[in-house]
Amino acid sequence: MTLIPPPKAMSDDELRSEVRAWLKDNWKGLPVSQDQWTSSPERRAWMEKVVDARWAVNRWPVEWFGRGLSDPQAKIVEEEFRAARALGAGLDKSQLYAITALAFGTDVMKNHVLKGILTGNVNMCLLYSEPGAGSDLAGVRTRAVRDGDDFVVNGQKVWTSGAMTADYGMLIARTDWDVPKHNGISFFFLPMKQKGVEVRPLRQVTDESHFNEVFFTDARVPAEFLLGGLNNGWRVLQTALAYERSVMGDGARGPRRGDDKASTDMIALAREAGKLNDPLVRQDLAKVLSYRKLNALNNARAKADLATGTSSPIMSLGKLAMSRILHEEARLRTTLLGAGSMLEGDAHPRADDANFLALNAYFTSIGGGTDQIQRNIIGERVLGLPKEPEVDRTIPFKDVRAG
Amino acid sequence: MSTITAEDRAAMTESVRRLLANQNTEADVRRTMETPQGYDDALWAKLVELGVTGLTIPTDYDGLGGGPVELERIMEEAGAALLSAPLFSGAMAAALIEASGDTAAMQRLLPGIAGGRTATVAFTGDAGTWTEDGVGVSAHAHGNHWALDGVASYVQHGANADLIIVVAKTHDGFALFEVSQGAEGLTAEVLPTFDHTQRLAKLSFAHVDATKLGTAGWEAVERMRDVALVGLAGEQAGGARRVLEFTTQYAKQRIQFGRAIGSFQAIKHMAADLLMESESAISAARAAAAALAENAADKDAAVALAAFACADAFSKVTADAVQMHGGIAFTWAHPAHLYLRRARADAQLFGAASMYRERYLKALGA
Ligand SMILES: Cc1cc2nc3c(=O)[nH]c(=O)nc-3n(C[C@H](O)[C@H](O)[C@H](O)COP(=O)(O)OP(=O)(O)OC[C@H]3O[C@@H](n4cnc5c(N)ncnc54)[C@H](O)[C@@H]3O)c2cc1C
C-alpha cells in the first residue's frame, strides 16, 4: 500500500459515504491486545491502511498524510469510524508524539518518523523527568552538546514509561547552562536503540515494570531531530504537556483482571456485592458515578468551545478531575468488596482490580504533572491568581540549587 | 486489670521499639514477607524472651499481666515497624481463652502462648463480616466430644498458628473451641494477600475433633473483639505516625523549584492535615485502651470510635503520603506502598469502618 493522492474537496455527504464505503470494504475488526506499549502486527497493518487512505489525521495538511479537512468534516470521519467501531481516526487530536513532531519537527525528521508513529511501527516514550527534576522540569540536568551534525547526550532520566520498547524518546536536555533555567533547554527526538542508551526497568507498586531509568552515555541524536530550534525546548514542552494532560483527563487504564460487566460497571459491581440496596452505598455510588459524568460533560463542552475557536478554561480541569475519579472509584470498589479486598491473585479478580486501580490512580495523580502542580496551573494560568514566587527563575542555571 | 506500672510499660515499649528497629528493619520486612511463614523465627524468639508474647496474659499463667493499655502501646510499635509476627493473633487468642471463663483451659493454654506457642482466633466465615451472622463453623456434640464443620476465613496466621480458638454455632448459641493445627479433618488454605506482610488463611473443618472452652458464647467474642480493636487501632495509629514522620522528613529534603517541597503550602497543608489524622488516631487508640482497661461506662463508644477513626486515619495518611512523595513512592523499592497495603488490610479487619460508625452512634444513644 502507498499513500493515496490528495483527494478533491468533498461535500459533507460525499465525505460520509466515502468513508463509510471504505470502512465497509476494509474494516474487519482486530483481535484484542493486552500490550499497551506496542501494537500488534494486525493493528499495525490496519493502521498502515488507515494512514495510506488519509483517514488517520484528517485535519493535517496533505503533505503529511492529511486531507486538510475542517474540524466539522474531520468529525464526520471520526463519527463514522466510531460507528463502525474501527480504530485509527482522530490521531491529529490524540497522538501526542505525532502532533508534537508535526508542529515542531524538521521535514527530515518528519519524513523519518511521522508515518511510523501514526501506524504504530515506531514506539515512543517521554524522556522528561530526572531524579532531580520532576515537577520542576525546567531543572533538567541531562546535557546535549553539539558535535558536527549531531548532539551528544549525557545524563539520566527516570520514571520513563515504555522506554524498553521505545524506538524514539521525546527528550528535554540542557543546551545552555549560562542562561536562566527555562531558556537553556532543547527538545529532541532521541533514537533509543543505540549503544549510548541504557534502559533499566523499575518495579512499580503495581508489581508491573512499565517505567524505567534511562542512562545516556554519549548517546547521539541528529541535529535534524531537534524540535522548535535550539534552546526553545520549554515552549515545545508546554505544547506537548498540554496534549498529554488533556489525554490523561479523558481516560486511564481500567481493570487488569476482570473483563465482564461488573469489572467496569460500578452499579453492576454493587449489585454483585449484594449492596445495591444499601442506602449508604447508593449515596456513595451516585457521587462517584457523577464525577465521571461531570468530567465527560466538561470535556465535551471544552471541545465544543475549542471547535468555535475559543480555548476553554475547563480544558485544564480534566486531568485533576480524572485523578479524583480514579481514586474515588477505587475507594468505592474497596468498600463494595469489604474483607475480600484484602486478597489478590488470579483467584480473586475483583480484589485484584480494586487494589490495582487504587494504586494505579497515582499514575494520573502523579504522572504527567502532579495534582498539586495541576492546581497551581489552574490557579495561576486559568484563574489568573498571582504566581507563586520562583526563587531560581531568573538566575543562570549553573547557579541553581539542586536536590 | 493490668499489674504493670507506667514506668515498666515505658521501658517495655522502649525495648520493643529497639528490638524492632534492629531486627525488623525495612529490609527484614521485605525479606520475611516473601517467605511462606511471613515472619522471622529469630525475631519471634526475641519477642518471647522479652515476654511480650505474654504481654496481656495474667502473671498466674506466666504472662506479664498487662492489659489493653499495654497491648495498644506495643501495637503502635508493631504498626510503625510493619511487624508481621503472630503476636497480635496470640494476644487475641489469649483474650478469648480468658473471656471463656474456663480456668482449666487458661491453665492448659495461656502459659504456652506466653512462652511462644503461636495462636490465633477463627471467628468469621467467607463473608468476612466478623459479626454473629458471619460465623461459618458449626459444632455438634457426640457424647462428650465435639466435632466442627464448616469454614472460617481471614484467619490471621491461620495456616501456621499452632493453636486455633474457633468460634462456632451450636444448637444453642455460640461456643468456643480449641483446635490444634494439623488436626484431622482441618485444612488450611493460605489466602494470597494484597498486604504481603499479612498472613491470612481459610480453614475448612470436616468433622474436626475439638475441645469446648467453658460455656461462654458470643459475649466472650465481643470482649475479645474489643481487645482486638484496641490492638488494631494501636497498629494503625503507630503506622500512621511513622509514615508521616518519613514523609515530613522527605518534604524537608526534596528540592524542586530551588526550594524544599515542604515549603509549598500544598505540601505543608497536607502534612498538617495528616498530623491531625495521626495524632487523633493515637488519642483515639489510647483512649479506647484506657476505657477498656478501666471497664469505663463509655468503653463501647471509645472502642467504636477508635475502630473507625484509626482505620480512616491510617488509610488517609498512607494514601496522601504516596502523593506527597511523587514518582519515587510509585516504586516497589520505596516503603510507602508497604504501609498503604497494610492500611488497606487493617481497614477491613474485624469489620468495616461503617459498621463501627453505626456502633458509635448506638453507644451514644442515637
Ligand atoms: C506511573 C508514572 C509514570 C510516569 N511516566 C513518566 C514518563 O513516561 N516520562 C517522564 O518523563 N516522567 C514520567 N513520570 C514522572 C512524573 O511526571 C513525575 O513523577 C511527576 O511530575 C512528579 O515529579 P517527582 O516524582 O519528581 O515529584 P516531585 O516533583 O519531587 O514532587 C513531590 C511532591 O511535591 C509536590 N510539589 C512539587 N512542586 C510543587 C509546587 N510547586 N507546588 C506544590 N507542590 C509541589 C508534588 O505535587 C509532590 O506531591 C511518571 C510518573 C509516574 C508515577
B194 touches chain A (CB under 8 A): yes
Tell me the β-bridge partners of B204: B151, B187
Predicted TM-score (pTM) of this structure: 0.96
pLDDT of residue A333: 97
A29 touches chain B (CB under 8 A): no
* HEC per residue, B197-248: CCCEEEEEEEEEEEEEECCCCHHHHHHHHHHHHHHHHHHHHHHHHHHHHHHH
Whether the pLDDT of residue A37 is over 80: the answer is no
Judge if A256 and A377 occupy the same domain: yes
DSSP letter string over A246-296? HHHHH-----SS--SHHHH-HHHHHHHTT-TT-HHHHHHHHHHHHHHHHHH
The type of residue at A386 is P
Q: Which set of grid coordinates corresponds to residue B284?
A: 483515639
Whether the pLDDT of residue B89 is over 60: the answer is yes
User: In terms of Cα–Cα distance, which of A227, A147, A158, A223 is closest to A186?
Assistant: A227
Judge if A222 and A266 occupy the same domain: no
Taking an 8 Å cut-off on Cβ atoms, the answer to whether A388 and B354 are in contact is no
- The CATH architecture of the domain made up of B6-117 is Orthogonal Bundle (1.10)
Judge if A342 and A281 occupy the same domain: yes
| B332: helix, strand or coil | coil
B365 touches chain A (CB under 8 A): no
Judge if A129 and A74 occupy the same domain: no
Complex ipTM: 0.96
Angle subtended by helix axes A12-26 and A71-83, to nearest 10: 30
Whether the pLDDT of residue B83 is over 60: the answer is yes
Q: Which set of grid coordinates corresponds to residue A211?
A: 517505567
State how far the Cα of B142 lies from the Cα of B280, in Å rounded to an integer: 51
Render pLDDT for A385-403 as a digit per residue (tens, 0 to 9). 999 888 888 999 998 877 6
pLDDT of residue A309: 63
Render pLDDT for B250-265 as a digit per residue (tens, 0 to 9). 999 999 999 999 999 9
Q: Which set of grid coordinates corresponds to residue A129?
A: 523527568
Judge if A378 and A277 occupy the same domain: yes
Phi/psi for B23 (5° steps) reads: -115, 0
User: In terms of Cα–Cα distance, which of A39, A42, A187, A62 is closest to A122?
Assistant: A39
For B102-141, letters b (16+ CB in 10 Å) and e give: beebbeebbbbbbebbbbbbbbbbebbbbbbebbbbebee
Render pLDDT for A177-218 as a digit per residue (tens, 0 to 9). 999 999 999 999 999 999 999 999 999 999 999 999 999 999
| CATH numeric code, B120-217 | 2.40.110.10
Sequence-ordered list of residues with C-beta below 8 angstroms from that of B325, at least 6 positions apart, any chain: B247, B250, B334, B336
The CA distance from B190 to the nearest CA of chain A, in Å, is 11
Phi-psi region of A376 (alpha: psi -120 to 50; beta: other; left: phi over 0): alpha
- Sign of the Cα torsion A113, A119, A121, A124 reads positive
Q: Which of A69, A92, A115 is the last residue of a domain?
A: A92
Q: Which of A68, A92, A116 is the last residue of a domain?
A: A92
In the reported structure, the alpha carbon of residue B256 is separated from the centroid of ligand 1 by a whole-number distance in angstroms of: 10
In the reported structure, the alpha carbon of residue B325 is separated from the centroid of ligand 1 by a whole-number distance in angstroms of: 8
Whether the pLDDT of residue B25 is over 90: the answer is yes
Number of domains in chain A: 3
Atom in ligand 1 nearest the alpha carbon of residue A125: 8
Render pLDDT for B92-124 as a digit per residue (tens, 0 to 9). 999 999 999 999 999 999 999 999 999 999 999
Sequence-ordered list of residues with C-beta below 8 angstroms from that of B321, at least 6 positions apart, any chain: B243, B244, B246, B247, B274, B329, B336, B339, B340
How distant is the alpha carbon of residue B147 from its chain centre? 28
Nearest by CB to residue B193, choosing from A204, A338, A344, is A344
Judge if A378 and A255 occupy the same domain: yes
Percent over 70 (pLDDT), chain A: 97
Taking an 8 Å cut-off on Cβ atoms, the answer to whether A359 and B191 are in contact is no
B201 touches chain A (CB under 8 A): no
Taking an 8 Å cut-off on Cβ atoms, the answer to whether B200 and A342 are in contact is yes
Q: Which of A231, A259, A290 is the last residue of a domain?
A: A231
CATH code at A158? 2.40.110.10
- Vertex A400 angle, CA A396 and A403, to 5°: 160
Q: Residue A201 belongs to what domain range?
A: 124-231
Closest residue of chain B to A207, computed from CA coordinates: B332
In the reported structure, the alpha carbon of residue B329 is separated from the centroid of ligand 1 by a whole-number distance in angstroms of: 10
> Is residue A78 situated within a structural domain?
yes
> Is residue A291 situated within a structural domain?
yes
A327 touches chain B (CB under 8 A): yes
> Is residue A107 situated within a structural domain?
no
Judge if A136 and A198 occupy the same domain: yes
Sequence-ordered list of residues with C-beta below 8 angstroms from that of A79, at least 6 positions apart, any chain: none
pLDDT of residue B344: 98
Judge if A70 and A168 occupy the same domain: no
* Domain ranges within chain B, ordered by starting residue: 6-117, 120-217, 219-363
Judge if A262 and A373 occupy the same domain: yes
Taking an 8 Å cut-off on Cβ atoms, the answer to whether A205 and B266 are in contact is no
Q: How many CB pairs under 8 A join A and B?
A: 127
pLDDT of residue A312: 67
CATH code at A284? 1.20.140.10
- Vertex A320 angle, CA A319 and A324, to 5°: 115
pLDDT of residue A176: 97
Taking an 8 Å cut-off on Cβ atoms, the answer to whether A344 and B192 are in contact is yes
> Is residue A297 situated within a structural domain?
yes
Question: Which residues 193-222 on chain A approach chain B with CB closer than 8 angstroms?
Answer: 202-205, 207, 211
E-strand stretches of A162-240: 168-174, 185-191, 197-201, 211-222, 226-227
Q: Does domain B219-363 have CATH number 3.20.20.370?
A: no
> Is residue A325 situated within a structural domain?
yes
> Is residue A164 situated within a structural domain?
yes
Whether the pLDDT of residue B131 is over 60: the answer is yes
Q: Which residues line ligand 1 (CB under 6 A)?
A: A 125-126, 128-129, 134-135, 159-161, 211, 362-363, 366-370, 372-373, 376; B 254, 256-257, 261, 264, 266-267, 323-324, 326-328, 330
Strands A168-174 and A124-127: parallel
Taken as a whole, chain B contains a residue count of 366
Nearest-CA residue for ligand 1 atom 26 is A134
> Is residue A396 situated within a structural domain?
no
Contact status, residue B110 vs residue B57, Cβ threshold 8 Å? yes
Judge if A310 and A378 occupy the same domain: yes
Q: Which residues of A touch B254 (CB under 8 A)?
A: 403
Atom in ligand 1 nearest the alpha carbon of residue A368: 17
| Active centre residues of A (catalytic) | 244
Whether the pLDDT of residue B1 is over 60: the answer is no
State how far the Cα of B49 lies from the Cα of B47, in Å rounded to an integer: 5
- In the predicted model, what is the mean pLDDT of residues A102-110? 96
Find where cell 474489643 sits.
B226
pLDDT of residue A32: 75
